[in-house]
Chains A and B, each alone.
Chain A
Amino acid sequence: MSFDDKIKEHEARRAKAMAMGGEEKLAKRRNAGVLSARDRVKYLLDAGSFRESGLFGTSYIKEMREQTPADGKVCGFGELEGRPLGVVAYDFTVKGSSSSYTNNRKMVHIKDMGAKRGFPVVFLSESTGVRMPDVMGEGMGLTNEGNRFLRGRESPWVSALMGYAFGSAAWHACSSDFNVMRKGSVMAVASPRMVSRALKREVTGEELGGWQVHADHSGFADAVAESDEETLDIVKRFLGYMPSHQNEPPPVRPVPAGSDDDSGKILDLLPESLARVYDVRKVIKAFVDKDSFFEIKARYARSLTTALVRIGGHVVGIVANNPQFKGGVMDADGCCKATSFIVLCDSYNIPLVFLQDQPGFLIGPEAEKHGVIGKVINWMNALLQVTMPRISIILRKSYGRGFINMGAGGIAEEVAAWWSADVSFMDPRSAVTIVHGVEEEDDPERFNTLVEEMRARGGSAYDLASLYGVKEVIDPRETRAYLIDMLKYHRSRLTNGVGQHLLSRWPTSYV
């Protein structure tokens, strides 16, 4: 064969592999406003930076080679804002992007290189699960699971679910550090069809594993998007807060103009009465770098807010009680949310700031059935293994063990209190009833006298400061300046901003 013929053959083979599952299927997706696997890769990466790996891979079954371009997974390397990235894009137009021998080998290579060479891996996922009937019977002999789902968090993994996600796509979503779910996607162990047959009733995809199931209840959706494009924009934004790998600090960005303007508004957002609630997210936005607030698991366990932000250009993880929801009480789900966020931040060299305004952990039979005690201690186990800087600020009330889980009591390197802080073992009003057996409605005068006596035992910011239990009492409006200073002095200079990653093998799906 002449070189000319070789060139023609190469071009023809490449064109066939690039054509995915054919124009008819691609047109259907376009009409539904859904991007193809290759369009998703193009949208995600810097223009012209994609270097594909395994374009000519096909099914291991010879008779199936013609019907399996790229074997249903578009894999390779590319750049995002000039930083390297590995990509696994599931091509649903080829056998439902089902998992097979060849496409698993392609995916494993990208994952292995991400961990070995130090770049994030992004899964652009939709899959019907294992390819049937390839793995029926003796096909199971091809299984080579190895350490497929053992995460050491050498580099970040991000999952973007855009369609049906059963099997591989679901497993990778739950083993990723961050998972975005496009509305209309379904993530579950098995498909609605299979589940409906097993349960002998109609189960819809939304009911089984729709975005609300995972954003509101399971916590597996860290963010939700309306379209493929928005899903990919969220992936890009998340990666902007991440280092390429665990041995470097996250990227520093210039501080946007106007970032110092809103600190003075904090007092307008904070009610003077401890009985009144407020949305802590508005307070956070007032003192962090402008437009840098990026909330994670916004719809899950809302009494606790977790967010990546920038302060003075540096990435910081915020764990904040949010009194707007359930009064800021910490329940089992909230504990899991805090723990998984602490693990994320410490694994990727992100300092943690805790903002306290909480009435304690949720009590009662339901809370116990959800295992709240164990979740409280898991949170403590994680918090005690953090090697990145920890700073805790008590905004208003902080009662009981929650005071310690939120970083005070000898855990965080720095603890400050706003002058509005009120700290005790429990709400003084509850303590009066428990200690003296007096209910407010039975004897308001005596009740109020006893509450004042209880308060006089000393739980103000200055009482704590007198014992160096808080190191500084600050005006809420000084929060930004305080944090910029403290983050500067606590930067891990001895290790170039890198922690020890004692939590890097903590389970990813711990929510």
Chain B
Amino acid sequence: MADVDVKVEITGSVWKIVTKPGDKVEEDDEIMILESMKMEIPVLAPEAGTVKEILVKENDSVVEDQTVAIIEN
């Protein structure tokens, strides 16, 4: 089993976290939703696996390439 970093592609703030540790996800499933450029932009699972850790909380500011969650696959 390997840890996979879930990174954000764009600077913004965490609007809603829609998964929790232990949740199973498929590739491209939504992990959380950012608010950026007046839009709700999903952060997607880069690979299928189980959510191991969520590293941010709602309303946190995040920057491009920041790791916001870890998936175990």
B residues apposed to A, CB below 8 Å: 9-11, 36-42, 64
Contacts and interface: CB of A to CB of B under 8 A. Distances in A.
Contacts, number: 34
A366 B63 CA distance: 11
A277 B37 contact: no
15 contacts: A274-B38, A275-B40, A276-B40, A277-B39, A324-B42, A326-B9, A326-B41, A327-B10, A329-B10, A329-B37, A359-B38, A366-B64, A427-B37, A429-B38, A430-B38
A102 to B, nearest CB: 45
Interface of A: 274-277, 303, 323-327, 329, 359, 364, 366, 427, 429-430
B1 to A, nearest CB: 19
B50 to A, nearest CB: 22
Interface of B is mostly: loop
A364 B37 contact: no
B38 A326 contact: no
Contacts of B37: 327, 329, 359, 427
A329 B64 CA distance: 13
Contact of A275 (B10, B38, B42): B38
Contacts of B11: 364
B9 A275 contact: no
Contacts of B41: 277, 326-327
B39 A323 contact: yes
Contacts of B64: 366
Nearest to A366: B64
Contacts of A359: 37-39
B10 A427 contact: no
Most A C-beta atoms less than 10 A away, residue of B10, B38, B39, B64:
B39
Contacts of A427: 37-38
Nearest to B8: A326
Contacts of A326: 9-10, 41
A99 to B, nearest CB: 37
B72 to A, nearest CB: 19
A303 B44 CA distance: 13
Given A326-B9, A327-B10, A329-B10, A277 B42 contact: yes
Contacts of A277: 39-42
